[in-house]
């Protein structure tokens, strides 16, 4: 089996990413039903989204507005006239057995997104070209009951929930991305992350991968170097986190290389990413390309946004995340290396929110990049997905500044919050964490330490100040870390003066 | 009170307004006529006796309270079974929807209810509006009241027959390629296909979305206009509905004057293939219009020759997609769901059992026409023809106010005569189809009889000029009715309970 380095030496990876975003509109794409997540099954439905005979779609203007905003943020051209089309195929959770989508006349085309990535050779910018951004409606959800796998095959019966049917979706499709080389998995992840940040800044979606409001299909192919043509691609679905994007592509690169090395061909197919193993399994084969019989949706008029409206929306665009980051770096006086680390860890936004809650930028950065990143690594999740809020962190930083927590105690509080023990104040109360600031108690502890280590105490008296460390350590141990080390040092040196 | 059934909606409206008669009496008279003759005619698939009487009572109560009511309040109507009516069985003539009671009402139904129109029940039709004879209904053929061995036209044969059999003075139809006008022609009644987008399609079970249009049917031009005014207008629930005021159709019907109007005779819709009796009545009608001060000229619409072919690609294509929703998952028929079969198998078995032959034929045609590799040659070419036909109309309307032709090439044919020859059946709509392809407005009204059977006269007006149909139609009707001693249906055989079937 080839190592990753050997794969890169022999093959060139080509990426293609299709991201589906559920828009955060209050109502569905083609009817007035609410879009709230997690409602009782089949309570957010009407004749239109259930595909009742005679019901007709009507377009949600807000969804068009959101899509145009996305297109503009991704540097796309906005078509003066675009059309909805029907994508015909049968599936039980699709009420009309066709999906209203866009086909050869999408609303946004030909854009790009610049993705920054810190490589060992320094920060690099990769331009990901966007082929199209188009609107469509989501399908319902099937729940397959019985059978071992929760898949349709072997299930005893299936339950259908149409609450999701008709929720506005925007599909963002890249062109084939070449030139990412060994960083293909990381660039893919960075692209999705950057896209997510943009969509969040636009306020058009809550972009929660774990709830499915942002879904990524990752296409990858390998072509032998010098062959001059693209290899056969696989399309991996069910990639439900940023980390999975990177893992899925890495896994597929290994799988493709292994097949190619064995003289086998890569099958063009849909694959499903499996979170536990970090590998993909085969889904339905696309070898016999399904014929969706697209044709213009006769029930809807073409979408023709006026030039004035487009310009109005362009003026509303928030600062581009890259420009925003540059401004923050300046404002916070962050060294390049540190800024790159923040970007790669995906914590810029969180740090900013923490600062907005009153925290010092350096302290905020240190917490998110340090302790919280370390805990995130242990749990193999993204920092942003850790169950602690910027507000929590800002509060902890404030408590340290006020002398009510030591750094060490603060780490315990962070740990407690992440463990689900509650908000910082609740963790402090529940764990009985407090800084020992009673001078009498501290002095008594210091005297016990001096008594236990008379020689060390003498060294300090003789002017060997660094030797005080051992005594301070003993005091901290004695007070179970709840003392303020700086105050201990002060008192100790006073006593031994 | 049996005389009530022979009155026009306008006459009933007047009597109701003067409280000479109650809505309940009018409704009951029509329900009695249905009981009496519908075994022979089979115009209705469902008669909502209780609902109709309750609606009538509401109107009477409102009138007693002195509320202001619309002109058609208390007038009964037959509703084509293609429109969803909340709680009322709606089948679209298909087994696949048997037993379905919609949870909502079509916009047109809501407008009718708001206007106080009494809905008597649902009328028979070719399955999913595919046909020209009602022989494709899953629930049996409707008989033509003029001759019970003949077809009443289709797909809206039930609505037209209900009018001709005096079971209702008003009816709603839908017209995708002629389904209002061809039945009107062969039953001696009036039917209008409004401008595409003039009447909401919300709640109308789609056959071919870009061609379907709901329209009014009656025995007189004025009645048709009164109904047109009630059902037309913009609807937020139909994106293709036109956001503009409805043309003044009632005023035009009352004006009934063609002096100075230019009328174009479509060269391509005459001659070969048109029965001599049909051509003769058509010529006589032209003569009347000329005598009333209109100028008649011949115009050529060369691309109409491709209309039928284009229609039979576009309509089945859209139908193949529109009918995909009938899959046993959420409503209607379900076959084979015994716990051993997959959802896909149940879908497939249900569709195999639930759709009739003509529907399957068109689904297959449409699926093929939209397939990768064939799309451009079939669907794409058909759309080009559609554009050319639209241009033919635009060119013609630049020199004339309305266009005219016979509505159908023949009078009502015998039941069974064309059931095994789909193409011969399709030719029934050769003169009506171009209108749907271009989205313009058209009317069929009686021009007289040929061998004892009604002949239809078609008037075509530019989009959103529906008022011209009524202006010309009413002028022609006035003269013809004077000659016949009443509108043509007064000559229709008076059916009794022993007739036919």
DSSP one-letter string for A25-41: -SB-SSSS-B--TTPPT
Q: Could you tell me if B148 and B105 are in contact, meaning their C-beta atoms sit under 8 angstroms apart?
A: no
Kindly report the CATH number assigned to the domain that includes residue A445.
1.10.10
Residue A136 sits in which domain range? Answer: 4-313
Residue A420 burial class via C-beta count within 10 angstroms: exposed 0-12, middle 13-18, buried 19 and up: exposed
Nearest CA of chain B to the CA of A38: how many Å? 22
ipTM at complex level: 0.95
The tens digit of pLDDT for each residue in A141-153 reads 988 887 766 666 6
Is it the case that residue A285 has pLDDT exceeding 70?
Answer: no
**Res B112: pLDDT:** 98
Chain A residues inside the 8 Å CB shell of B102 = 47, 52-54
Look at A47 and B83 and tell me if their CB atoms are within 8 Å.
no
- The DSSP code for A301 is P
Of B154, B130, B82, nearest in space to B415 by CA? B154
Considering the domain architecture, whether residues A22 and A110 belong to the same structural domain is answered as yes
Considering the domain architecture, whether residues A304 and A343 belong to the same structural domain is answered as no
Q: Which of A431, A460, A480 is the last residue of a domain?
A: A431
The tens digit of pLDDT for each residue in B439-468 reads 999 999 999 999 999 999 999 999 999 999
Judged by phi (left if over 0) then psi (alpha if -120 to 50, else beta), residue A228 lies in left
Q: Could you tell me if A144 and A138 are in contact, meaning their C-beta atoms sit under 8 angstroms apart?
A: no
Question: Chain A interface residues facing chain B, Cβ-Cβ under 8 Å?
Answer: 47, 50-59, 86, 88, 90, 92, 95-98, 152, 157-158, 160, 291, 293-295, 298-301
**Res B1: pLDDT:** 46
Look at A298 and B318 and tell me if their CB atoms are within 8 Å.
yes
Between these two residues, B118 and B343, which has the higher pLDDT value?
B118
Give percent of chain B above pLDDT 70: 99
pTM: 0.87
Residue A170 CA to residue A304 CA, distance in Å, equals 17
In angstroms, the Cα distances linking A466 to A449, A457, A458, A494, B394 are: 16, 11, 12, 15, 99
Strand partners, A13: A222
Rounded to the nearest 10 degrees, what angle do helices A184-202 and A61-73 cross at? 130
**Res A214: pLDDT:** 94
Look at A298 and B104 and tell me if their CB atoms are within 8 Å.
no
Residue of B nearest to A58 (CA): B239
Chain B residues inside the 8 Å CB shell of A55 = 104, 202-203
Residue A108 CA to residue B393 CA, distance in Å, equals 35
**Res A228: pLDDT:** 87
Is it the case that residue B96 has pLDDT exceeding 80?
Answer: yes
**Res A289: pLDDT:** 63
| Bridge pairing between strands B295-299 and B190-193 | unpaired
Where does A18-148 have alpha helices with state H?
A: 61-73
In angstroms, the Cα distances linking B94 to B45, B137, B139, B361 are: 11, 7, 8, 15
Considering the domain architecture, whether residues A104 and A237 belong to the same structural domain is answered as yes
**Res A119: pLDDT:** 86
Look at A293 and B320 and tell me if their CB atoms are within 8 Å.
yes
**Res B295: pLDDT:** 98
Nearest CA of chain A to the CA of B356: how many Å? 17
Residue of B nearest to A154 (CA): B342
Q: Poorest-confidence range of A198-207, A318-327, A436-445, A449-458?
A: A436-445
Residue B291 CA to residue B411 CA, distance in Å, equals 26
- Which element (helix H / strand E) includes A308? helix A307-316
Q: Which of A386, A407, A431 is the last residue of a domain?
A: A431
Is B80 considered catalytic here? yes
**Res A150: pLDDT:** 60
Of A133, A50, A135, nearest in space to A84 by CA? A135
Nearest CA of chain A to the CA of B498: how many Å? 38
- Which element (helix H / strand E) includes A251? helix A242-261
Tokens 């619409």 correspond to: B301
Look at B205 and A299 and tell me if their CB atoms are within 8 Å.
no
**Res B2: pLDDT:** 60
Of B7, B36, B80, B418, the active-site residue reads: B80
Nearest CA of chain A to the CA of B488: how many Å? 34
- How much is the average pLDDT of A457-482? 86
| Bridge pairing between strands B190-193 and B118-123 | unpaired
The CB density around residue A141, as the number of other CB atoms within 10 Å, is: 15
Considering the domain architecture, whether residues A338 and A198 belong to the same structural domain is answered as no
Chain A residues inside the 8 Å CB shell of B317 = 295
Query: Could you state, in order of their start, the residue ranges of all structural domains in chain B?
Result: 2-304+386-491
Residue B459 burial class via C-beta count within 10 angstroms: exposed 0-12, middle 13-18, buried 19 and up: buried
Q: Which of A31, A49, A52, A54 to mutate to test the interface with B (most CBs of B within 10 A)?
A: A54
Look at B102 and A158 and tell me if their CB atoms are within 8 Å.
no
Chain B residues inside the 8 Å CB shell of A56 = 201-202, 206, 237-239
Considering the domain architecture, whether residues A204 and A337 belong to the same structural domain is answered as no
Is it the case that residue A497 has pLDDT exceeding 80?
Answer: no
**CATH class entry, domain B2-304+386-491:** alpha beta
Max CA separation in chain A (angstroms)? 96
Considering the domain architecture, whether residues A263 and A403 belong to the same structural domain is answered as no
For residues A334-343, one letter each, b for 16 or more C-beta atoms within 10 angstroms of the residue's C-beta and e for the rest, the string is beeebbbbbb
Q: Torsions phi, psi of B403, nearest 5?
A: -115, 150
Chain B residues inside the 8 Å CB shell of A158 = 343
Is it the case that residue B501 has pLDDT exceeding 70?
Answer: no
- The DSSP code for B305 is G
Is it the case that residue B192 has pLDDT exceeding 60?
Answer: yes
- How much is the average pLDDT of A460-485? 85
For residues B7-20, one letter each, b for 16 or more C-beta atoms within 10 angstroms of the residue's C-beta and e for the rest, the string is bbbbbbbebbeeee
Chain A residues inside the 8 Å CB shell of B236 = 58
In angstroms, the Cα distances linking B484 to B281, B479, B490 are: 13, 9, 9
- How much is the average pLDDT of B16-39? 97
Chain B residues inside the 8 Å CB shell of A95 = 325, 329-330
Of A200, A143, A457, A450, nearest in space to A346 by CA? A200
- The DSSP code for B141 is P
Nearest CA of chain A to the CA of B364: how many Å? 13
Q: Could you tell me if B158 and B131 are in contact, meaning their C-beta atoms sit under 8 angstroms apart?
A: no
Look at B239 and A300 and tell me if their CB atoms are within 8 Å.
yes
Q: Could you tell me if B121 and B183 are in contact, meaning their C-beta atoms sit under 8 angstroms apart?
A: no
Between these two residues, A65 and A409, which has the higher pLDDT value?
A65
Instruction: Give the CA dihedral A280, A283, A286, A292, nearest 10 degrees.
Output: -130
- How much is the average pLDDT of B378-382? 96
Look at A291 and B371 and tell me if their CB atoms are within 8 Å.
yes
**Res A212: pLDDT:** 87
Chain B residues inside the 8 Å CB shell of A295 = 317-318, 321, 370, 375, 379
Is it the case that residue B22 has pLDDT exceeding 50?
Answer: yes
**Res A109: pLDDT:** 98
Q: Poorest-confidence range of A124-133, A417-426, B15-24, B314-323?
A: A417-426
Nearest to A47 among B103, B326, B342 (CB): B103
Q: Could you tell me if A457 and A471 are in contact, meaning their C-beta atoms sit under 8 angstroms apart?
A: yes
Number of domains in chain A: 3
Residue of A nearest to B338 (CA): A157
Work out the pLDDT band at A337, boundaries 50, 70, 90. Answer: confident
Of B94, B179, B270, B320, the active-site residue reads: B179
Nearest CA of chain B to the CA of A221: how many Å? 26
Look at B343 and A92 and tell me if their CB atoms are within 8 Å.
yes
Look at A295 and B371 and tell me if their CB atoms are within 8 Å.
no
Nearest CA of chain B to the CA of A253: how many Å? 32
Q: Which of A431, A447, A471 is the last residue of a domain?
A: A431
Residue A281 CA to residue A108 CA, distance in Å, equals 33
Of A246, A224, A286, A208, nearest in space to A21 by CA? A208
Look at A298 and B347 and tell me if their CB atoms are within 8 Å.
no
Is B291 considered catalytic here? no
Q: Poorest-confidence range of A191-200, B3-12, B257-266?
A: A191-200
Q: Could you tell me if A132 and A178 are in contact, meaning their C-beta atoms sit under 8 angstroms apart?
A: no
**Res A151: pLDDT:** 64
Look at B321 and A98 and tell me if their CB atoms are within 8 Å.
yes
CA atoms within 13 A on the CB side of B403: 30
Report how many Cβ contacts below 8 Å link chain A to chain B.
104
Work out the pLDDT band at B494, boundaries 50, 70, 90. Answer: confident
Considering the domain architecture, whether residues A59 and A190 belong to the same structural domain is answered as yes
Is it the case that residue A288 has pLDDT exceeding 60?
Answer: no
Look at B239 and A51 and tell me if their CB atoms are within 8 Å.
no
Considering the domain architecture, whether residues A107 and A200 belong to the same structural domain is answered as yes
Give percent of chain A above pLDDT 70: 97
Considering the domain architecture, whether residues A9 and A150 belong to the same structural domain is answered as yes
- How much is the average pLDDT of A196-216? 91
Considering the domain architecture, whether residues A463 and A447 belong to the same structural domain is answered as yes
**Res A478: pLDDT:** 84
Q: Torsions phi, psi of B56, nearest 5?
A: -60, -45
* DSSP characters over B418-478: STT-HHHHHGGGTTTHHHHHHT-EEEEEEEEEETTEEEEEEEEE-TT-HHHHHHHHHHHHH
- The DSSP code for B341 is S
Of B94, B137, B155, B444, the active-site residue reads: B155
In angstroms, the Cα distances linking A369 to A28, A272, A344, B285 are: 39, 32, 10, 90
Chain A residues inside the 8 Å CB shell of B203 = 54-55
Chain A residues inside the 8 Å CB shell of B92 = 53
Considering the domain architecture, whether residues A309 and A350 belong to the same structural domain is answered as no
Residue B140 CA to residue B126 CA, distance in Å, equals 9
In angstroms, the Cα distances linking A459 to A468, A488, B406 are: 8, 17, 121
In angstroms, the Cα distances linking B456 to A315, B173, B174, B178, B278 are: 60, 16, 17, 12, 8
Chain B residues inside the 8 Å CB shell of A92 = 327, 329, 343, 347
Tokens 């008022």 correspond to: B467
Q: Could you tell me if B276 and B283 are in contact, meaning their C-beta atoms sit under 8 angstroms apart?
A: no
Look at A55 and B317 and tell me if their CB atoms are within 8 Å.
no
Residue of B nearest to A87 (CA): B321
Considering the domain architecture, whether residues A230 and A308 belong to the same structural domain is answered as yes
Look at A299 and B103 and tell me if their CB atoms are within 8 Å.
no
Is B155 considered catalytic here? yes
Residue B110 CA to residue B6 CA, distance in Å, equals 27
Work out the pLDDT band at A431, boundaries 50, 70, 90. Answer: confident
In angstroms, the Cα distances linking A269 to A171, A234, B24, B368, B482 are: 20, 5, 66, 25, 74
Work out the pLDDT band at A296, boundaries 50, 70, 90. Answer: very high
The tens digit of pLDDT for each residue in B256-306 reads 999 999 999 999 998 888 999 999 999 999 999 999 999 999 999 999 999
Q: Could you tell me if B408 and B447 are in contact, meaning their C-beta atoms sit under 8 angstroms apart?
A: no
Strand partners, A216: A19, A239
Work out the pLDDT band at B499, boundaries 50, 70, 90. Answer: very low
Nearest CA of chain A to the CA of B238: how many Å? 6
């Amino acid at each position: 089996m080839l190592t990753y380095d050997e794969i890169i030496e022999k093959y060139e990876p080509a990426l293609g990413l299709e991201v589906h975003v559920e828009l955060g509109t209050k109502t569905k794409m083609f009817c007035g039903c609410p879009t709230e997540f997690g409602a009782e099954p089949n309570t957010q439905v009407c004749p239109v989204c259930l595909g009742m005979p005679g019901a007709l779609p009507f377009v949600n203007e807000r969804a068009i507005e959101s899509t145009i905003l996305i297109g503009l943020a991704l540097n796309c051209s906005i078509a003066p006239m675009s059309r909805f089309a029907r994508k015909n195929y049968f599936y039980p959770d699709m009420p009309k057995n066709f999906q209203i989508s866009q086909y050869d006349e999408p609303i946004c085309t030909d854009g790009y997104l610049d993705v920054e990535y810190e490589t060992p050779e320094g920060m690099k910018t990769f331009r990901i070209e966007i082929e199209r951004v188009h609107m469509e409606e989501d399908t319902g959800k099937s729940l397959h009951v019985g059978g071992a796998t929760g898949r349709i095959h072997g299930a005893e019966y299936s339950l259908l929930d149409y609450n999701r049917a008709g929720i506005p979706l925007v599909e963002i499709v890249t062109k084939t991305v070449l030139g990412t080389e060994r960083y293909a998995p990381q660039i893919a992840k960075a692209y999705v992350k950057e896209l997510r940040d943009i969509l969040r800044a636009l306020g058009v979606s809550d972009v929660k991968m774990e709830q499915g409001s942002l879904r990524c299909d990752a296409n990858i192919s390998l072509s032998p170097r010098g062959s001059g043509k693209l290899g056969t691609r696989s399309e991996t679905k069910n990639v439900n986190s940023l980390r999975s994007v990177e893992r899925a592509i890495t896994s597929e690169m290994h799988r493709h290389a292994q097949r190619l090395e064995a003289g086998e061909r890569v099958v063009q197919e849909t694959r499903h990413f499996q979170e536990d193993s970090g590998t993909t399994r085969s889904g339905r084969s696309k070898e016999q390309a399904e014929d969706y019989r697209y044709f213009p949706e006769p029930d809807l008029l073409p979408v023709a946004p006026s030039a004035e409206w487009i310009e109005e929306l362009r003026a509303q665009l928030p600062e581009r995340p890259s420009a925003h980051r540059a401004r923050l770096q300046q404002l916070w006086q962050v060294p390049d290396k540190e800024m790159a680390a923040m970007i790669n860890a995906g914590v810029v936004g969180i740090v900013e929110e923490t600062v907005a809650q009153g925290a010092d930028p350096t302290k905020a950065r240190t917490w998110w990049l340090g302790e919280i990143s370390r805990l995130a690594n242990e749990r193999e999740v993204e920092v942003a997905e850790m169950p602690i809020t910027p507000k929590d962190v800002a509060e902890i930083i404030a408590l340290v500044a006020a002398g009510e927590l030591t750094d060490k105690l603060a780490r315990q509080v962070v740990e407690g919050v992440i463990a689900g023990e509650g908000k910082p104040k609740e963790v402090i109360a529940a764990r009985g964490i407090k800084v020992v600031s009673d001078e009498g108690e501290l002095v008594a502890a210091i005297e016990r330490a001096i008594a236990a280590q008379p020689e060390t105490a003498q060294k300090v008296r003789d002017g060997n100040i660094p030797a005080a460390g051992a005594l301070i350590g003993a005091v901290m141990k004695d007070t179970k870390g709840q003392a303020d080390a700086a105050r201990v040092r002060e008192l100790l040196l006073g006593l031994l003066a | 009170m049996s005389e009530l059934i022979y009155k026009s909606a306008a006459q009933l409206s007047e009597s109701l307004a003067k409280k000479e008669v109650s809505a309940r009496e009018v409704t009951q008279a029509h329900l009695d006529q249905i009981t009496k003759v519908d075994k022979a005619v089979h115009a209705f698939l469902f008669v909502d006796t209780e609902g109709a009487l309750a609606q009538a009572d509401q109107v009477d109560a409102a009138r007693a309270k002195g509320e202001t009511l619309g002109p058609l309040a208390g007038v009964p109507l037959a509703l084509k079974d293609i429109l969803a009516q909340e709680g009322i069985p709606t089948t679209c003539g298909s087994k696949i929807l048997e037993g379905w009671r919609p949870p909502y009402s079509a916009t047109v139904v809501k407008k009718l209810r708001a206007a106080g129109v009494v809905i008597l029940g649902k009328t028979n039709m070719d399955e999913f509006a595919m046909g020209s004879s009602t022989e494709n209904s899953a629930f049996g053929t409707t008989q033509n009241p003029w001759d019970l061995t003949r077809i009443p036209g289709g797909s809206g044969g039930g609505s037209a027959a209900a009018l001709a059999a005096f079971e209702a003075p008003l009816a709603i139809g839908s017209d995708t390629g002629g389904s209002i006008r061809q039945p009107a022609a062969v039953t001696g009644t009036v039917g209008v296909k409004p401008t595409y987008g003039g009447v909401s399609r919300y709640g109308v079970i789609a056959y071919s979305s870009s061609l379907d249009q709901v329209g009014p049917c009656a025995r007189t031009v004025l009645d048709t206009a009164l109904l047109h005014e009630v059902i037309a207008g913009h609807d937020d629930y139909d994106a293709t509905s036109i956001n503009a005021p409805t043309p003044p159709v009632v005023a035009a019907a009352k004006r009934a004057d063609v002096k100075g109007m230019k009328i174009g005779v479509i060269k391509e819709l005459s001659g070969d293939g048109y029965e001599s009796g049909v051509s003769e009545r058509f010529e006589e009608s032209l003569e009347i219009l000329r005598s009333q001060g209109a100028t008649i000229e011949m115009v050529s619409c060369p691309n109409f020759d491709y209309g039928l072919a284009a229609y039979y690609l576009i309509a089945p294509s859209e139908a193949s997609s529109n009918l995909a929703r009938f899959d046993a998952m959420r409503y209607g028929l379900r076959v084979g769901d015994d716990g051993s079969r997959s959802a896909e198998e149940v879908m497939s078995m249900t569709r195999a059992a639930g759709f009739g032959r003509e529907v399957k034929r068109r689904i297959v045609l449409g699926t093929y026409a939209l397939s990768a590799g064939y799309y451009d040659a079939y669907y794409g070419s058909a759309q080009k023809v559609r554009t050319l036909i639209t241009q033919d109309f635009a060119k013609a309307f630049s020199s004339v106010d309305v266009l005219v032709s016979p509505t159908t090439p023949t009078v009502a044919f015998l039941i069974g005569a064309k059931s095994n020859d789909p193409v011969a059946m399709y030719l029934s709509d050769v003169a009506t189809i171009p209108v749907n392809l271009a989205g313009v407005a058209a009317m069929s009204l009686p021009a007289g009889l040929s061998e004892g059977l009604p002949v239809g006269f078609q008037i075509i007006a530019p989009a959103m000029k529906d008022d011209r149909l009524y202006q010309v139609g009413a002028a022609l009707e006035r003269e013809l009715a004077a000659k016949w001693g009443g509108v043509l249906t007064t000559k229709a055989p008076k059916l009794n309970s022993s007739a036919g079937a």
